[in-house]
Amino acid sequence: MSAQSSLALKEEGNRHFQRGDYVAAEALYTKAIIADPTNPLLYTNRAMARLKMTRWDSVIEDCEECLRLSSLTTASSSSSSSACPYVAGQKNTGKNFKALYYLSQAHLPLKNYDQAVSYALQAHKICAETHDKSLAAVTSQVLKCKKERWEHREKLRRREEQELEGEVVELLRKDMEGLLKSNEEDEEERKEMEKLCEEKIERVKQIFEKAREKDQRRRENPPDWAIDDISFQVMVDPVMTKTGKSYERASIEEHLRRSETDPLTRTPLTIKDLVPNIDLKHACEEFLEENGWAGDW
């Protein structure tokens, strides 16, 4: 079988995919891969179908194979631009940002949070460099991954906090029992000891409760400097316009595709005029690391 028959099978698979028949689409993409197993893009097609079928491990296998083949074909195409018909004339790694994006989507439900974040950021980097129209979707994936990773860490932290509170209270109660045993004769003094110990336990509980309330208040509103004025989400990759105003890269680029004007001043503005705001980006990264709840604020 040839690359031509592989392409025909892929196109037929695309038609089934568009109709929502993911099982048939996967089967056709598999046949296309058998016909041309060295084409990395076919693996992302099948991974896309498998994502819809929630076959996470299979998605990961396909995407990893796609990236492996991409690295091989990119190396060969650098020495001969006609070495591979579906690679020549394009940046293969850029084309295959989808493999990284799908890897992030597959690792997230498997609770591989660090991998999900890492792959989402790699996909975002490629989209930003190539000004791909998928940048907004990939930006949302970055926020989603960071939020779910933070929620997982918070769950563990709260569990440890509750265990610590229980251990402290238990130690205080044991101390009280020891004191009461050492003074079994004086009933009045025993009652005073018991009262003081219960008051101490209550103060410990109040300290832990106040810490929880402080955490909850902190989650009410993210700071204005971190919010994009177009999407109203926390920024992942802020860029500055000529006026010094910062926006999320995906939001401002989408705006500029519709109208090459500054959203604030309505003066002429193009994507080439945008400048990364590195300091703000680092500040937003630190904020999201500690406040992942803001990922879908």
Q: Is residue 98 part of a domain?
A: yes
Q: Are 184 and 230 part of one and the same domain?
A: no
**CA nearest to 116, candidates 95, 134, 100:** 100
Closest CA to 237 of 245, 227, 247, 229: 247
Would you say residue 236 has pLDDT above 80?
Answer: yes
The closest alpha carbon to 232, from 221, 218, 241, belongs to 221
* Helix segments in the chain, DSSP class H: 3-18, 22-35, 40-52, 56-79, 92-95, 97-107, 113-130, 135-182, 187-218, 249-258, 278-290
Same domain, 95 and 10: yes
Which candidate, 192, 262, 272, places its Cα nearest to that of 229?
262
> Of 218, 236, 265, which residue sits at a domain end?
218
**pTM greater than the 0.85 cutoff:** no
pLDDT digits (tens, 9 = 90+) for 189-208: 778 888 888 899 999 999 99
Residue 133 lies in a domain: no
CB 97 within 8 A of CB 71: no
Is residue 125 in a domain? Answer: no
Q: What is the pLDDT of residue 191?
A: 83
As a whole number, mean pLDDT of residues 93-98 equals 70
Residues 279 and 206 in one domain: no
Confidence of residue 213 (pLDDT cuts 50, 70, 90): confident
| Range in 217-221, 228-232, 278-282, 291-295 with the lowest mean pLDDT | 217-221
Q: Are residues 202 and 228 in the same domain?
A: no
Q: What pLDDT is stored for residue 106 in this prediction?
A: 99
Query: Of all residues in the chain, what percent carry a pLDDT higher than 90?
Result: 71
CATH of the domain at 11: 1.25.40.10
The predicted model gives 154-176 an average pLDDT of 90
Cα(228)–Cα(181) distance, integer angstroms: 63
Which CATH number do you get for residue 258?
Answer: 3.30.40.10
Asked if the model's pLDDT at residue 290 lies above 70, the reply is yes
Does residue 80 carry a pLDDT above 60? no
- Read off the pLDDT of residues 260-283 as tens digits, 9 standing for 90 and up: 999 999 999 999 999 999 999 999
Q: Is residue 167 part of a domain?
A: yes
Domain boundary among 184, 218, 252: 218
pLDDT-derived band of residue 72, with 50, 70 and 90 as boundaries?
A: confident
Together in a domain, 69 and 164 = no
Whether 244 is in a domain gets the answer: yes
Host domain of residue 239: 224-296
Q: What DSSP character marks residue 278?
A: H
User: What tens digit of pLDDT does each residue of 101-139 get?
Assistant: 999 999 999 999 999 999 999 999 999 999 999 999 999
Packed helices 135-182 and 97-107: angle between N→C axes, nearest 10 degrees: 30
- The predicted pLDDT at position 219 comes to 74
